[in-house]
Amino acid sequence: MFNALVVNKDEDEKTSAAVEQISVDQLPEGNVTVAVEYSTVNYKDGLCIGSGGGMVRNYPHVPGIDFSGTVEASDDDRYSPGDKVVLTGWRVGEVQWGGYSQKARVNADWLVPLPELISSKQAMAIGTAGLTAMLAIIALEQHGLQKSNGSVLVTGGSGGVGSVAIAILSKLGYEVATVTGRPESAEYLKSLGASIIVPREELNEAIKRPLEKQVWSGCVDTVGGEMLARVFGQMFYGSSVAAVGNAGGARLPASVMPFILRGVNLLGIDSVMQPYQNRLKAWERLASDLPMDKLEAMITPATLSDLPRLGVDILKGQVRGRVVVDVNA
């Protein structure tokens, strides 16, 4: 028997999450069993710990869309007992049981070998959020992002994706600006490498004019909604915005003018179903381009029993940086 955070739904359709003891026999089918060491907390995790957010199909359910650990048993030639692995995406923790458990059984196709320069703990400080940030930066680079072109904007800088994006962009030599609605986070954001702090109220309003002064050479947007629509009008000619989230709403009240008059590109970043080779490249880049001292500064430690509270907090925007869950503590 081992511990897991299990979400149950009662006859009134109300969900509740608590740490329970479960057995290996209860784990879903899969060809690799992993002794989980660490997990993390993402916005999706908050939904799955709580109401399910329309993502969880069956109960009881074990959330946790990310985990890292050591292979315990494998029926797949690519992995052997003792191998260090990381899993993000593939709807694990949503449709499939996830990483809020001391053991997980999954499909080998969903795993990635953990780079030697990254520990299991660091891998979950990175997690889906860090992987998404890296994929966004790679996409911007592929579409012509240059250090000489001006500042790169990161919206939602205090969150997981934003924090990692700032740290990477700063290490790569870009001047980084970031948007935050938390004035008390300014020093934290500067410590990650942001040199310009933009108050949320300056961008969090409807479009004033379809085209404004050109300010940003690139953008990693975690917010969506009206802020994203506003940012389009401030992008330099031929620049790109990598959109990774919709914390500010799924509706996009944008003008077509920045796209047809300034050649602005909107790049959609999906981290859930990314092909294996793209994941591998991103993790290799994270090992080389993410300053690990800054990553450590983002970490808030947690245990399985902390997760019901953290699930509520992250949905309220009250989680800063990256939560690392030690599932064995």
Q: Going residue by residue through the chain, which has 329 residues, state the pLDDT in tens, using 9 for 90 and above.
A: 999 999 999 988 899 999 999 999 999 999 999 999 999 999 999 999 998 778 898 999 999 999 999 999 999 999 999 999 999 999 999 999 999 999 999 999 999 999 999 999 999 999 999 999 999 999 999 999 988 888 999 999 988 999 999 999 999 999 999 998 888 889 999 999 999 999 888 887 777 788 999 999 999 999 999 999 999 999 999 999 999 998 888 899 899 999 999 999 999 999 999 999 999 999 999 999 999 999 998 899 999 999 999 999 999 888 888 999 999 99
Alpha-carbon torsion, ordered 109, 127, 162, 117, to 10 deg: -100
- Is 298:322 a contact under the CB 8 Å cutoff? yes
Pick the CATH number of 2-114+298-326 from 3.90.180.10, 3.40.50.1370, 3.20.20.80, 3.40.50.150: 3.90.180.10
Asked if CATH classification 3.40.50.720 holds for the domain at 127-268, the reply, yes or no, is yes
Please report the pLDDT score of residue 279 as a whole number.
96
φ, ψ dihedrals at 65, nearest 5°? -80, -10
Handedness of CA 182, 173, 43, 21 (dihedral sign): negative
Looking at the DSSP bridge assignments, the partners of residue 242 are: 220, 267
Predicted confidence at residue 257, as pLDDT, reads: 96
Interior CA angle at 235 toward 234 and 237, to 5°?
Answer: 130
Query: Domain boundaries in the chain?
Result: 2-114+298-326, 127-268
pLDDT at 207: 73
Q: What is the pLDDT of residue 152?
A: 98
3-state SS, residue 220: strand
Q: Coil, strand or helix: which one is 236?
A: strand
Q: How many whole angstroms separate alpha carbon 74 and alpha carbon 79?
A: 6
